[in-house]
Structure 1
Amino acid sequence: MEKLLNIQEMSKLIGLSTHTLRYYEKIGMLKGVARNEQGYRCYSEADLLWIQFLICLREMDMPISEMMHYSNLRTQGDSTVYERRVMLEAHQDKVVQQMNKLNENLGRIGAKIEHYKGLEKTVFCEK
C-alpha cells in the first residue's frame, strides 16, 4: 500500500502552501483527493505527480485560467488527449518565444557590460 501524505507533508514536500493546495482543490484543479476517517486530506502518489505538473505549468507562466481548462480536460479522460496536446504545444511555443526574447535581451546586457568594462579601463588608465 502506498504512503498517503497529509496536507502539511504534501506542502513541505512540494513547496506550495497549504492554502494554495486548498485553493487548487476549491477551484477544481485538484480533484479527487482522498479523505481519511477524520475528514483530513490524504494525498496519493498520483496527486503528487499531478501537483508537480501544475507547478511546472505555473512556473512556465501558464495563466490559472488555462491551467483550469487543462485540468478540466484531463478530468474528461482520454477523449481530450488531442486537445490537451495542442494546448501544451501552444504554451510551449509561447515559452520558446519568451526564452528567445530573454536570450536576445541577455545578449544586449552582456554587450553593455563589456562596453562598461572597456570604459573603465580607459577611465582608470588615464588617471
Structure 2
Amino acid sequence: MNMKAFSTLVGLSAYTLRYYEKVGLLNNIQRNSSGHRAYTSKDLEWVNFVKRLKDTGMPLAEIQQYALLRELGSSTVLDRQQLLERHKDQLQAHIERQKNHLLALESKISLYKANKVS
C-alpha cells in the first residue's frame, strides 16, 4: 500500500513515517517500480506495535534498541524479551502511581460533595 493509504490506516503522518525510517524504527520498506514506498501487512503490524510501545511510555531510545535487536534476528529474542519485561515492570509501577492519584482525587471530590472542603 502507498504512503498515503498506510499513513491513514496507522494514524501517523507521512512525516512521522519518514522520521521512523530515518531513526531506524522502520527498516526494509519495499519500494515499487517508481521508487515509492510500498507498505505491507507486516509493516502495519510493526508500526502498530511501535505505537503501543510509545503510547505506554517507552522512550524512543528503547524503542530504537528494540527495533535494532529485532533487525538482528532470532539470536536476540532473549534480549528483546528482557527489554519488554523491564518496560512492563515500569508500566505497572506507573499504573499503580496513577491509581493512587485517582484515589486521592476521588477523596477530595467526596469532600466537596459532602461540603467538607479542607
Q: Shared fold (TM-score greater than 0.5)?
A: yes
Instruction: State the 1:27 CA deviation.
Output: 1.1
In our comparison, the structure showing a higher alpha carbon Rg is 1
Of the three residues 85, 93, 97, the one matched with 1:97 is: 93
RMSD: 0.8
Q: How does 1:3-42 map to 2 (within 5 A)?
A: 5-42=1-38
When normalised by structure 1's length, the TM-score is: 0.89
Partner Cα separation in structure 1 for residue 56 and residue 4 of structure 2 = 25
When normalised by structure 2's length, the TM-score is: 0.96
Equivalences, count: 116
Percent of aligned pairs with the same amino acid: 39
Structure 2 gaps of 5+ residues are none
Q: Does 1:54 align with 2:50?
A: yes
- Which digits, 9 at most, give the CA deviation of each residue in 1:19-72, with x for residues without a partner? 010000111110011001111100000010000000000001111111000000
* Runs ≥4 residues deviating over 2 A: none
Structure 1 gaps of 5+ residues are 121-127
Aligned partner of 1:125 in structure 2 is none
Partner Cα separation in structure 2 for residue 6 and residue 118 of structure 1 = 58
Q: Does 1:112 align with 2:93?
A: no
Partner Cα separation in structure 2 for residue 16 and residue 63 of structure 1 = 18
